[in-house]
Amino acid sequence: MNKVIASPAEAIADLADGSTVAIAGFGVAHRFATSLILALRDKGAKQLTLVCNSLGDPGATRGQILAESKQVKKLIAAFSVRPGTPTASEEQIANGEMEVELVPQGILVERCRAGGAGIPAFYSPTSVGTDLVKGREMRDFGGKQYVLEHAIHLDFALLRGYRADTLGNVQFRGGSQNFNPSFAKAARHAIVEVDEIVEPGGIPPELIDLPGIFVSRVVKSTQPADAKIARRAERRPSDKPRLYNGKPALTRAGIAKRAAALVKDDTYVNLGVGIPTMVSNYLQERHVILHAENGVLGYGQMIKEDGVVDPDVYNAAGQFVELKPGASFFDSVTSFEMARGGHIDTVILGAYEVDETASVANWSTADAKRGGIGGAMDLLSGKGDLIIVLEHADSKGRPKLRKKCSYPLTGQGCVSYVVTDLALLRWNGNHFVLEEVAPGFSAEEVMAMTEMHVVPAPQVGFMG
């Protein structure tokens, strides 16, 4: 049984118009099946339903190039658009030329896992209380609401591995398993592009991450990763403080540092994209284990721009990070089992808005077809503390701490703490308590710039 195909073009030769195709991969340029994606673009198959985490930036050798060639009819993804990045897919979505089904990242992989396991549907707590459940079947289990999710079945999955043998057994490297196993299991034809093909026995059995029974074809990559593209993931947010009433607030790094101080020792912590990623730089001497949705447990601080990186060791934002002793790797299904199963003690996320009912909105500034859910809704369905980090006002000076969120909710009544560049607030079960303000500001000043109802603590301190 030899599953090796001579070329990417031959590997996708039977991929027909109207097929449902999944593309695995994570971040900016981490282990995508670039050779197979280019072959699919050149083949010109039309009316495709594309299943992926996101399509990527303009020109990226990901699903976006299929959108640019107008081959995609429908998108099933955790991210349909990203703010500030105009793309062909965004234009097509806005014009009604591309249908969109936004799915939380953990549910996306779980629906594919179910499809591969012969499970037609399941109930999940993820997205309950949000716009995503409108018109969906709900059930109560043990006094808690759950939404019905249907399995996803794929015609083809385009995957990227490190090594494979001729029997189709695949080894992934580092944190690059991500969606590959669940997509492979859901597909009639799972095609894996790899750096190296070996004979049976060339991969030790304990290093096989995807058994060959789930793999239809193996092809050697003809498009090696571009290191310059991969390093885009190291870009850091600006650290220039904003001015309020003519005075500087905390920098974004200052927000991250204060949030890090809220984290308890001997806990498992997940960090979201943006300001939360910087929190890892302030936990290095702490007894804390960091979790990333792409499948890493036990990573450390971000690697500086002039540092040596491992292309398969990165966080959920796609930034290259160090590993700590005792770190482990796994796929996205396992990663979100940790989240929804309540094994993560603290989640730190960015947001567009938080309201006075401790609800949060962080995935869409437009409508439910144009946004980026990512893994946030899955992370919020666990039982740990939720710390939201954000600037106190938006770029137009409008407050982000609202009486009621104006954007679609990510989660209801779930926020434990809010850390802004002006304030630290704690939810006491009824309202937010203002416990600290930025140096140089008074509690009265900060409350005047806060739309939501806030009660000051008996002694309001200063953020350090």
Q: Is 293 a catalytic residue?
A: yes
The span from the CA of 431 to the CA of 367, in Å, is 29
149, 107 in Cβ contact below 8 A? yes
| CA distances to 61, 192, 225, 227 from 163, in Å | 21, 9, 15, 19
| Cβ count within 10 A of residue 396 | 5
Catalytic residue among 68, 110, 234, 293: 293
Q: Over the Cα atoms of the chain, what is R_g?
A: 22
Q: What's the token pair of residue 368?
A: 């439910």
Question: What's the CA angle centered on 271, arms 268 and 275, to 5 degrees?
Answer: 145
113, 333 in Cβ contact below 8 A? yes
Candidates 259, 256, 327; CA nearest to 290 is 327
The span from the CA of 100 to the CA of 50, in Å, is 10
| Residue-wise burial string across 72-111, b where 16 or more C-beta atoms lie within 10 A, e elsewhere | bbebbbbbbbbeeeebbbbebbeeeebebebbbbbbbbbb
Q: Which residues are catalytic?
A: 293
